[in-house]
Each structure stands twice: as structure tokens, then as C-alpha cells.
Amino acid sequence: MPDSHDHMPQTKALTDTFGRQINYLRLSVTDRCDLRCRYCMAEDMVFLPKADVLTLEELYDLSKAFMDRGVRRIRLTGGEPLVRKGILSLIERLGDDVDRGLLDEVTLTTNGTQLPHMAADLYKAGVRRINVSLDTLKPDLFEEISRRNKLAQVLEGIRAAKAAGLEVKINTVALKGMNDGEIPDLMAWCLAEGLDLTLIETMPLGEIDDAREDRYLPLTALLPTLQDRWTLTPSGHRTGGPARYFSVKGHANRLGLITPLTGNFCDGCNRVRVTCTGRIYMCLGQDDHVDLRAALRSDDPEAELEAALGKAMLEKPKGHDFAMQNDRMVGTVGRHMSQTGG
């Protein structure tokens, strides 16, 4: 059956009530993961039944609907997106849309464990850059944070990604009392390896074993330590996400900061998140959502999806509710990051 997507007129762009146009979709393809990072999920996670999860065809249909409404970047997330069976078929279809000019890029965020055997196929499918989550280069600490002994596998995956021609950016969650003392060395390693590094403040998402306040490290407190070692200059570089970048004197690679608690970045928000069950969350830091799966599986998916996305734009808030008050995190939401899409 021919794909009619090429012949469809573009529907009205997704614009919220604050005039922000949504051109970036973070699409979760699974809630499952082969790691159990402490800040992301509990040790004993109960994963979704398969019937609740969108099929690969539904994920593509949803992607098309967003593309028809002005989305130019799609990032696949999880859980761990590369553990989803058949995921390359979805990536290949989105890669074809990049080739046809319907998308600017398809990217993904991964923990790196599947890259040793998948990196070359990702490049062949049309991916050109990826984010790899890596919080430490110390095997014991990696196992403590992720509850799995897979650091060597991740580092092998990063090497495989570079060899395949993928641009790799490292994402590191700054964790007080765990990896805070290592971050300068991690940055030095990234610069030596030709990798951008983005540091992320931990966020109050889901119930976990540790008190989040005990691990919270404001990046404003960490930045001076890095500035003692490198000359950092604010950069206008943007990749479509919330990171604010710094150029590093003497190096081609950059440092990014994502600061939901010390530096709200909501004014320029251009993105929404869709879970693997088809819920669209208009804001990472709020629980309000609209059910797109019901629209997709209805008798009139085109009309129902139009209505659902219109409702989502009306309900997209100006910003999240994350904050620190009296040394406590407020604005907590109940779902885990792995359920939302990283």
C-alpha cells in the first residue's frame, strides 16, 4: 500500500497558548530497560503489558501526525529504546523521512549497552547523532548507580558508535556524594575522546529508594570548579533541547547544562513528550496529559487525533513546577522518568 504521507497537505502547526511552536517530539518506544539507574527507576519495576504499548506501526503513524503539524526533530527514548524488538524498522522509516526532507533528523537517547552490535545499523538507518547516558567511568560506582555491571559494555558501545560515524554526546546526571568529585575527570575524558558533555540536575520524578535531596547537586555550584580548569564561554549552539552550552577554549567540543531547578528553561519550550502508551505529556514537570492511543485506535483516528492534539496545545503550561524550597524538592510528579521518556 503506497504511503500517502508524501501527498498530504500540512495540517496547522502545533502552537500552544503562549505562542510557542512545537517542532520537537521526544517519543518513548518502551518503558523497559536493561539498567536500573537509581535516579530513574526502582529496583523492582513493574513494566507495562505489551497490549498497552503502541505497536511500531502506531508509533510511526503518530510520528507522521506530528510531522504533518510542523515537528522537524524526533528523538526516540525509553526506557532503553534499543531493547525494543524491531526498533530498527521504525528508525529506518523515519530515516527515509529525513532523506525526503520531511524531518530534519531522527536521534535517540540510549544507555549504550546495545550499541556494540547496533551502532552501524543505526547509522545505516539514518541516525547521525545520539546521546549516551553515562554517569561515571568507575566500574564499582557504575554498578552502584545503575544496579548493573555493564560499564565495559557501554564504553565498547561508545567506541562502536564513533567508529560507525555517529556523533556522540554524553549525558551525565550530577549526583551529590556519588559522582560529583569525578565530573571534572569525566569532562576531561569527553574532551580527549572528542565528545560533547551535558550535565543534568536530578529531577523529582517518581518514587525511588534514595531521597532526591540527598543526591541533588545544583550545577551553579559545580560550574566554578570546571571554570577553574577550563575557560568556558557561553555559546549560542542549540540542538533543539533544553541544554545551554559553553564553548571550551582549545577544544572543538562543548559543555551543556540542563538546570530545571537552578535555571528554568521553559520560556522557549518547543517540545512535547509522548509515552510508549500514547500519552502526550505537554510538560515533563506536570502530570497533565492527553490520550493519543485512544485517538489512534478509534474509528476516526484522523479527526480524533486532531482534537486530542488541539486539546494538548490548549493545556500546555507555561512551565514546570520543579523547585527547591527550604532544602526540599517540590513539584514532584509520581511517574518515573522511564515511564515518561528520557
Annotated binding site for GTP: 26, 75, 109, 169, 271-273
Which residues does the annotation place in the binding site for S-adenosyl-L-methionine? Answer: 39, 79, 133, 203
Place of cell 530545571: 260
Cβ–Cβ under 8 Å, residues 38 and 145: yes
Which residues does the annotation place in the binding site? Answer: 26, 33, 37, 39-40, 75, 79, 109, 133, 169, 203, 266, 269, 271-273, 283
Which residues does the annotation place in the binding site for [4Fe-4S] cluster? Answer: 33, 37, 40, 266, 269, 283
